[in-house]
Amino acid sequence: MKVKDLMSREFVATYVPSTVREVLKILARHDVSGIPVLKKGTRHLAGVVTRSDIFRNPDEEQLALVMNPNPYTIGEDDDIEEAARILHEHRIHGLPVLNKKEEVVGVISPADLLKIVEGKGNRYVESYYTTSCVPVYQETPLPVLMEIITITNENALPVLDDGGRLAGIVTDGDLFKLSHIRESISKSEFGLGDDEDAWTWEGIRDVLRLYYSTSKIDLPPVPVREVMVREVEKASRKTPISEVARIMLKKRISQLPVVGSDDRLLGMVTDIDLMKAIYED
């Protein structure tokens, strides 16, 4: 099977020159974590910009100064196994797909390839999950949580209770549940305002993180347990990866905590981890 058979032909892109603020709004409205950057008036690739690029350079305003000008790409006639290998080995969430004229004709992501993983029912999470995750204690104050998120660039952290068991998941977007933060961002120059319904939770989360990183909002010392999500999709080491892929596609999530029989956290399994199942044969 070729990349062109599974890639997303309808994709969101931006052009240079542009500003970080405009890119952040595009990411927010379309619920994506990164987009190709095209040369103005063409379909030729100038680079890629992701949420991570923006947060690494919170004070920079010009897109050209934060984007990656030399991103990984894949050809539309390349095998999907090669796309899966690049996604997995370089831990990236999307590859621009180029035709023979070096024009961008699509994007392929782990979510596009999870449909293949759904068919691999004889493989189990124990061979794919990672123990390299960042759990936090349920009494961790929100300012400390945001510092952890900023330093690690993780946007979803497992939360442990007093017994060291999984109690929930917290994301940077969950902080937006606090009403005074919501009001502060709605009145910001990003202008959520009356157009708030057009913004995804991912986008609201992006604005929150950018505002925090430039010291424009203060977070109260509220414990994580007051904003975390308690009903969490999770897996065990013996869960088939086909089931994990199905849950990820249905719930539109990219990672699940992996727990033992006593609900103690063992690690996390992500859609990128599962890409290995496509090319390892």
Contact indicator for 266, 129 with CB cutoff of 8 Å: yes
**What six digits make up the tokens of 274?**
């599962």
pTM of the predicted structure, to 2 decimals = 0.81
pLDDT at residue number 15 = 95
Is the pLDDT confidence value at 192 over 60? no
Give the whole-angstrom CA distance, residue 85 versus residue 74.
11
Is the pLDDT confidence value at 183 over 60? no
- 1-34 pLDDT, tens per residue? 999 999 999 999 999 999 888 887 787 677 777 8
H or E element in which residue 112 lies: helix 110-117
Q: pLDDT band for position 199 (50/70/90)?
A: very low
**End-to-end alpha carbon distance in the chain:** 14
Give the whole-angstrom CA distance, residue 85 versus residue 67.
23
Q: How far lies 176's CA from each of 30, 173, 179, 180, in Å?
A: 19, 6, 7, 9
Q: Using CB atoms within 10 A of its CB, is residue 262 exposed (0-12), middle (13-18) or buried (19+)? A: exposed
The domains located in the chain, with CATH, are: 3-108 (3.10.580.10), 136-279 (3.10.580.10)
- 132-181 pLDDT, tens per residue? 889 999 999 988 988 888 788 787 899 999 999 999 999 766 765 554 45
pLDDT at residue number 211 = 52
pLDDT at residue number 176 = 55
